[in-house]
Amino acid sequence: MIASRDSAAAPVHPGGRVHISAARRLHVPRHAVRASWTMRAALLLGLAVACAAFHTALAPWFGAWHAVAPALALGAVGGLGFAAWCRAQPAFIEIGTDRFAAFARSGACLADGRLIGASQWGAALLALVVEEGARRKTLLIAADSVDVETFRVLAVSARSASGR
C-alpha cells in the first residue's frame, strides 16, 4: 500500500485540534507599555552611587586622580548595561485569563506563559514571574509605564497567581 503525500505529514496538534493558547491569542488585546522614567531614573541614580562608591574605595590606594579612570570605566560598562536593559523592556503585553505574554518593539516574544505564585505587587511596581515550561522569567512593570486600568488588571492577576 502506498501512502499519499498528504497523509504522510503528521498533524501539527494532536487530534487535529487547535491548541487553546493559540486560539486565545487572537482575542487577547495588546496593551502598550511606555518607558518608565521612574525606573530609568532609579537605575541611573544607582549607577552613579556605585561609581562614587567605587571611586571612594579606590582613592586611598591609588590616589583621588588615579581612581577616576576605573570609576569612569565602571560607569561606561554600567551605561552599556543600562542601554541593553532599556532595549530588552517589553513594548506590548497581553493579559489573558490564564496566560501572560510580553513582546519587544520588534515583535519578538520576551515572555509567554502563565503568572506563578512568586509574583510580587505593590502600589507602584509589579514584579511578575512568568513560567514558560521549565523556565521562569521576571518582568518589572512600573505604574507609570502602563495606564491605570492595565496596571490594576496586572495587579489582580499577580494576586490571583499568588494563590496557586
Where exactly are the structural domains of the chain? 37-87, 90-162
- Global model pTM greater than 0.85: no
55-111 tens-digit pLDDT: 999 999 999 999 999 999 999 999 999 999 998 889 999 887 778 889 988 888 888
For residue 152, CA distances in Å to 16, 90, 95, 101 come to 38, 18, 11, 17
CA 25 – CA 114 distance, rounded (Å): 13
